[in-house]
Structure 1
Amino acid sequence: MSSLEEPASEGIFVLDTLADGAPGARQATMGHRVFRAIKQAIVRGQLVPGHPISEAELARQLGVSRQPVREAFIKLSEMGLVEIRPQRGTFVQLISRREVENARFIREAIEVAVARRAAEVANGESVRPLFALVEEQDACGDRPDQGRFLALDDALHRAIALLADCEHAWRVVEDLKVQMDRVRFLAISDATPVDTIVAQHRDMVTAIARNDPDAAADAVRTHMREILNSLPVVAASNRDVFVP
């Protein structure tokens, strides 16, 4: 940050990712927990694209020193989520359609390969948790809590990667998909029907359960390309948060 007076962060947000009870919180370092909290706030739109964010204010809200927030800003800048402008401050990046489309292209290639392997090794016991996650998503209803619904979404994709013994592939996807996540958080309310997502997930899991790699790959491709349908709609209705 510059020596100039820092702009106030846009809005007040409440995050539970620093709490000891949060999943994985005890294992994570404080720096990682701060990074994860700020990243989540950006993905969820609690820190508004195009607006300044204050190192001092975020440190105060999170109850930490400024050092882990400063380190988080550097990581978030590398991910394309914030822009650090010398002598001006740090700003949340607008969403780039091009970056979203590039991330989707790479993610599809990885997840298709993972689904194929999962279909090759799946059995009745290993797919049971996958079906359970799909049903849990379905039970969220037509207007679900966005955070919970997308957490279940991620849990399903991670579970498929674990079934395929491809946990590292999921870690790559997790970093890659952050720009997609920003659109996904908008798309649930603006463009993509929840029942469409649930149906696509059910198709993926059913193909894996049937040990059909080709069908699993096709189901993942269909699912990964859904964002190409919703992205223009979301961008048109949220012009202020997208790169012109």
Structure 2
Amino acid sequence: MVLDGQDRWRLNNALPISSQIYALLRDRIVRNEFAPGERISEAEIAKLCEVSRQPVREAFIKLAGENLLEIRPQRGTIITKIAYTAVLDARFLREAIEADIVSILASRSDTALVRELRDQVSRQRELGQSRSAEFIQLDEHFHHTLAQEAGKGGAWKLLEGLKSQMDRVRFLSLSQFPIGRLVAQHSALVDRIERGDVSGANAAIRTHLREVLTDLPSILAANPQFFDLPDGTVLQPANAPIQGGIDHEH
């Protein structure tokens, strides 16, 4: 699927149309190119893609299921705000799943896998701070590799649908993305997998996946209009405190 200028989006007719429209819209929403509160319509997207409204409707329904769109009958469809509680829930679930994934990998340390992971970390390190969006792609590939090699590709696919709100936060933080620290954490995780250090790998991935909590207060302060806060308050995560001094009661 290729974005063709500003007038239309070119789709591959050999592939499912609805899935392509879903992927294109999801990517733009996650990258915050479509802002919360912005209206989009089936008719406009169908025109851009030069298709009927049916596959667009199917894509909208799937995006609404991920809480990225709110479909209001007779009133239109809008981009949702980032659900703060969904960010915390997705991070919590991701930590639980990936902790088991790296424990599996460390318990059967594989030389070929370690070599592949080190190659990936080297490519991440070469990007530098100015290419945060590219780092996010490499980071996704790194974590996907961990899941695949542990035989948990299905669990990763499930996570992809759950962590869309978390991904929106990551793209809001591009200007302050701690690439150096994240790469160092990836490298330390690979070291523990190589040594067969199950408890160390488990601890390393948990520390790594709690990194997003460090930046949440400043991201919220800079972009309050992007977030949907329950009752206007900031909840503490269940298993890791938010950094930066925010300390609200549940």
**TM-score greater than 0.5 by the shorter chain:** yes
Match of residue 174, structure 1, among 141, 160, 164: 160
- Aligned with 1:88 (options 75, 79, 89): 75
Aligned partner of 2:147 in structure 1 is: 161
Distance (whole Å) between structure 1 residues aligned to residue 144 and residue 183 of structure 2:
16
Q: How many residues align?
A: 224
Give the structure 2 partner of residue 226 of structure 1. 211
Aligned to 1:133: 120
Q: For residue 189 of structure 1, report the CA deviation from its aligned partner.
A: 1.5
Cα deviations by residue, 1:8-67 (Å, 9 ceiling, x for unpaired) = xxxx69878x469xxxxx7x5222111111111100011111111121222222333221
Please name the residue that 2:244 is paired with: none
- The aligned counterpart of 1:204 is 189
* Gapped regions of structure 1 (runs ≥ 5): 1-11, 21-25
Instruction: Give the superposition deviation at 1:77.
Output: 0.8
Shifted more, 84-93 versus 131-140: the winner is 131-140
Matched-pair identity in %: 42
User: 1:103, 1:151 → 2: CA distance?
Assistant: 18
- State the TM-score, normalized to the length of structure 2: 0.84
CA contact (8 A) 1:15 1:37 kept: no
Residues 218/19 of structure 1: CA separation in 2 closer, same or farther (3 Å cut): farther
Counterparts of 2:201 and 2:209, CA distance in 1? 12
Measure the CA separation in 2 of the matches of 1:206 and 1:32. Answer: 38
> 2:74 & 2:194 partners in 1: Cα distance?
56
State the SS of the aligned residue for 2:127: coil
Relative to structure 1, is the Cα distance of residues 15 and 195 closer, same or farther in structure 2, using a 3 angstrom cutoff?
farther
Task: Provide the secondary structure at the position in 2 that maps to 1:84.
Answer: strand
CA distance in 2, matches of 1:62, 1:215: 49
- Report if the CA contact (8 A) 1:207-1:215 is conserved: yes
Aligned CA-pair RMSD: 2.0
State the partner residue of 1:213.
198
Cα distance change on mapping 1:166 and 1:15 into 2, 3 Å? farther
Contact residue 132 and residue 179 of structure 2 kept, 8 A: no
Deviations 1:166-202 (A, max 9, x none): 1111111111111110001112224x31111111111
Using the alignment, how far apart are the partners of 1:48 and 1:169 within structure 2?
Answer: 29
1:31 maps to which of 18, 23, 42:
18
TM-score normalized with structure 1 length: 0.85
